Amino acid sequence: MPAAPRPVLRWLPPALRRPEAAPLAVCAAGLAGAGYLYVTDPHEPGHLLPGCPFRFVTGLLCPACGGTRMVYDLMHGHFGQAWLDNRMLLLAAPFALALLGRWALEGLRGRRWRPRLRPHTQALILLLAVAWTVARNLR
């Protein structure tokens, strides 16, 4: 039996219901955030960048802690420092960018796309995130 169609948010204007609207909005927000980050050094205090809520509550580093500094360092060509900021996120970034690119490409082709990960792949990603969190907090 085929899956039931997903409900469309009927309250949205028709232009925002198009398949390309969401990926293009995410890309535009990402570019705007990258533009702000390029001129804002997260290594220095006194900026308007959000902190990690997990670290605020627990005092521990989450799997993504250091990601903002990592992106800043990548944009400024400091690859060694980006590696030190968050190794796992740096290794995962090309895969995330490939998924974003595929989502945008399919949206521009007029098709909706959702990546489908098998349960064992999801479990592996979760296990890696937990292992990375434990390892980086033991140092």
For the segment 77-124, what is each residue's pLDDT rounded down to a tens digit? 999 999 999 999 999 999 999 999 999 999 989 888 888 999 999 999
pLDDT above 80 (res 57):
yes
Task: Name the pTM for this structure.
Answer: 0.82
CB 58 within 8 Å of CB 64: no
User: What's the rounded mean pLDDT across residues 51-59?
Assistant: 92
Radius of gyration of the chain (CA): 18
Q: For residue 99, what are its two tokens?
A: 């998924």
Determine the 3-state secondary structure of 21 from DSSP: helix
